[in-house]
Amino acid sequence: MELYVETVIDVDMDVLWERTQDPVAHQSWDLRFASISHLPRAEGEAQSFRYATRVLPFLWIAGTGVSAGERQRPDGARVSVLRFASDHPLSPLAEGSGYWRYVPGPTGIRFLTGYHYRPAWGRYGAVADRLIFRPLMGWATAWSFDRLRLWCERGTHPRVALARALGECALRLALVLAVLFASPVAPLALAAGTAALVALLPPLPGTPAARRCRRTPPARIRAPRLLATLEPS
């Protein structure tokens, strides 16, 4: 099953390309990666890279990949593709591939991704992926795309966007706790109702939110042909 996320970003194409292709810029907004670094390559070869994800304060899961991109297409769109793999024993993802499309439109650039992967850990990993990792990966991708949009459109640096998101979550939690401890009658029922209401309230305009992104493809889609030219990492 392929994960799909799409948003529209009103920004110059070169700015969006730079903030998604430069490793330092990319890791600053993408919640899925703690670090990304390019590896040396020869002229004409695809770009190899190394990535790491922090799952605990002192636990990093690393992997490698290879990527390529097309900046000049007849319709003005651009595309970037990659393959990745990790042999870390704690990595829930064994290997996978994906792409980014940059499609100019009347209200901005349709920035979208489609990617799929093979879970690690055999049968147990498949179950954990279906219940936990795949929903989490989809949410993290969408949240990161909206974080990137705020950076491009509003100039909100990803660090500031994260701080705002954490602050808003803290305020919502404080509201639920205040109701729970302040109500003398049926506090659990009131707290549950308050929690449901708080969860349904839309985030502030300057706070990243996964719900702003499209999570299902508009129709049957195909991966770019460029992806077939990449050897597995």
Q: How far is CA 153 from CA 63, 111, 140, 185, 203, in A?
A: 32, 13, 20, 46, 17
Mean pLDDT in residue range 26-35: 95
- Looking at residue 40, its pLDDT comes to 92
Give the whole-angstrom CA distance, residue 98 versus residue 38: 18
Q: 39 pLDDT band (50/70/90 cuts)? A: very high
Q: 178 pLDDT band (50/70/90 cuts)? A: confident
Mean pLDDT in residue range 137-157: 97
For 68-115, write each residue's pLDDT tens digit: 998 888 888 999 999 999 999 989 999 999 999 999 999 999 999 999
- Looking at residue 71, its pLDDT comes to 87
- Looking at residue 232, its pLDDT comes to 67
- The answer to whether residue 66 scores a pLDDT higher than 70 is yes
- To the nearest 10°, report the CA torsion of 100, 126, 142, 192: 170
Separation of first and last alpha carbons in the chain: 21
- The answer to whether residue 1 scores a pLDDT higher than 60 is no
Q: 50 pLDDT band (50/70/90 cuts)? A: very high
pTM beyond 0.85: yes
Q: Which of 136, 155, 133 is CA-nearest to residue 210?
A: 136
- Which one has a higher pLDDT value, 46 or 176? 46
Give the whole-angstrom CA distance, residue 175 versus residue 199: 11
Percent of the chain with pLDDT over 70: 94
Count the residues in the chain.
233
- To the nearest 10°, report the CA torsion of 24, 28, 30, 35: 50
Mean pLDDT in residue range 50-54: 92
With tokens 């490793």, the residue in question is 23
Q: 4 pLDDT band (50/70/90 cuts)? A: very high
Lowest pLDDT segment from 28-37, 55-64, 108-117, 118-127:
55-64
Percent of the chain with pLDDT over 90: 69
- Looking at residue 188, its pLDDT comes to 66
Sign of CA dihedral 142, 148, 149, 151: positive
Q: 170 pLDDT band (50/70/90 cuts)? A: very high
- Which one has a higher pLDDT value, 180 or 162? 162
- Looking at residue 32, its pLDDT comes to 93
Burial profile 6-25: b = 16 or more Cβ within 10 angstroms, e = fewer:
bbbbebeeeebbebbbebeb
